[in-house]
């Protein structure tokens, strides 16, 4: 059975994060998917996706694509402000869909989207590629076989990223990833590092499982890198991915490097987790199960992130706890 996929939105992120890995998966698994339609308000972009990535037909209107094509799933890669409305339309039409983080521009709109997913029971998935990074998945499995996890840390470094919505719309990646590693949050605190660095934050987390965590958000650090550390009694796992001068997994035990993998020779869509995300989507449909993670799964990460943003807006230098 071939999975019929339509892509709504043909911008840069859609190309890198969805069109490339879908074409990669299709080439690696002939007949597993049919890329039936690409849709963008700029029809020339949709036509480009047809030429470069093998989508069968180009559209400039979402309704036209939905009416003309029998889709098994629609991947919507659209501006944040339109995620809830388009997502709800797809859910209410019972079109299985993939939507992007952070699920909407406000927690109120995200709650409406979540409620629509609950009410319709339509199959859905959220695109959060870090959960599918091979290096991180290997690191998580290694720590599980080594001992109980005590501490999780994420460091998100960027260069000249001073947009006001960075914390809510981009740092959600790091926040969701540490939640993926450590489980649901019991509480979290946030503070600006210094008044002179108003875009940089320290987020301290207490997980329900008893693990302690921290996320450092440093968007004006002068370099682009993302690192996750998983630490327990007698061991440490360091994963730098998807960004960094070198993407690697390093596992230490009893003061020795016991496992190392350098991933820079792998395709970018694999390193970033985009390919793994596409594989999860297709494999779930082929196996008759729901793909993960769902809107319901990601909602707590989004909720925590919006709460942190709200506290920063109310008092950028305060440390105010958020407890579920």
Contact partners, residue 104, CB within 8 Å, separation at least 6: 80, 81, 83, 84, 110, 113, 302
Number of domains into which the chain is organized = 2
CATH at residue 210: 3.30.360.10
> Does 282 share its domain with 315?
no
Question: Is the separation of the CB atoms in 23 and 35 below 8 Å?
Answer: yes
Please state the pTM of the whole predicted model: 0.94
Q: What is the pLDDT of residue 196?
A: 66
Q: Is there a single domain that holds both residue 108 and residue 28?
A: yes
Q: Closest Cα to residue 148, out of 182, 184, 186, 185? A: 182
| In 160-287, beta strands by DSSP E | 185-194, 197-207, 212-218, 225-232, 235-240, 248-253, 256-262
The CATH number that applies at residue 102 is 3.40.50.720
Q: Are residues 222 and 317 in the same domain?
A: yes
* pLDDT band of 322, cuts 50, 70, 90: very low
Instruction: Quick: pLDDT tens for 121-138.
Output: 999 999 999 999 999 999
Alpha-carbon distance 226 to 29, whole Å?
A: 31
Whether 160 and 284 share a structural domain: no
Segment 234-246 mean pLDDT: 97
Task: Calculate Rg over the CA atoms of the chain.
Answer: 20
Of the listed ranges 183-197, 238-252, 261-275, the least confidently predicted one is 183-197
What's the CA gap between 15 and 35, in Å, rounded?
13
Q: Based on the domain organization, do 242 and 285 belong to the same domain?
A: no
pLDDT band at 323; cut points 50, 70, 90:
very low
Q: Do 106 and 181 share a domain, yes or no?
A: no
Domain that holds residue 22: 3-128+274-294
């Amino acid at each position: 059975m071939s999975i019929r996929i339509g892509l709504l939105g043909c911008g840069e992120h859609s190309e890198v994060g969805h069109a490339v890995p879908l074409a990669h998966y299709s080439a690696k698994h002939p007949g597993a998917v049919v890329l039936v339609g690409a849709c963008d308000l700029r029809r020339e972009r949709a036509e480009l996706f047809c030429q470069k990535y093998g989508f069968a037909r180009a559209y400039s209107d979402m309704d036209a694509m939905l009416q003309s094509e029998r889709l098994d799933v629609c991947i919507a890669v659209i501006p944040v402000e339109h995620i809830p409305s388009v997502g709800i339309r797809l859910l209410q039409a019972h079109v299985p869909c993939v939507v992007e983080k952070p699920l909407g521009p406000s927690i109120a709109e995200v709650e409406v989207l979540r409620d629509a997913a609950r009410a319709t029971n339509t199959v859905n998935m959220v695109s959060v590629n870090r959960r599918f990074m091979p290096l991180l998945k290997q690191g998580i499995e290694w720590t599980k076989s080594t001992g109980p996890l005590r501490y999780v840390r994420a460091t998100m470094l960027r260069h000249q990223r001073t947009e006001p919505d960075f914390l809510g719309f981009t740092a959600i990646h790091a926040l969701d990833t540490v939640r993926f590693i450590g489980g649901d949050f019991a509480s979290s605190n946030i503070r600006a590092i210094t008044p002179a660095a108003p875009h940089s934050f320290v987020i301290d987390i207490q997980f329900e499982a008893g693990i302690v965590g921290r996320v450092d958000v440093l968007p004006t650090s002068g370099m682009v890198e993302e690192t996750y550390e998983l630490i327990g009694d007698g061991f440490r796992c360091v994963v730098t991915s998807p960004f960094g001068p070198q993407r690697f997994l390093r596992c230490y035990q009893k003061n020795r490097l016991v496992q190392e993998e350098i991933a820079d020779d792998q395709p970018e869509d694999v390193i970033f987790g985009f390919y793994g995300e596409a594989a999860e989507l297709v494999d779930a449909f082929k196996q008759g199960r729901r793909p993960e993670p769902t809107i319901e799964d990601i909602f707590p990460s989004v909720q925590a992130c919006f709460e942190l943003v709200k506290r920063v807006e109310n008092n950028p230098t305060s440390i105010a706890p958020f407890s579920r």
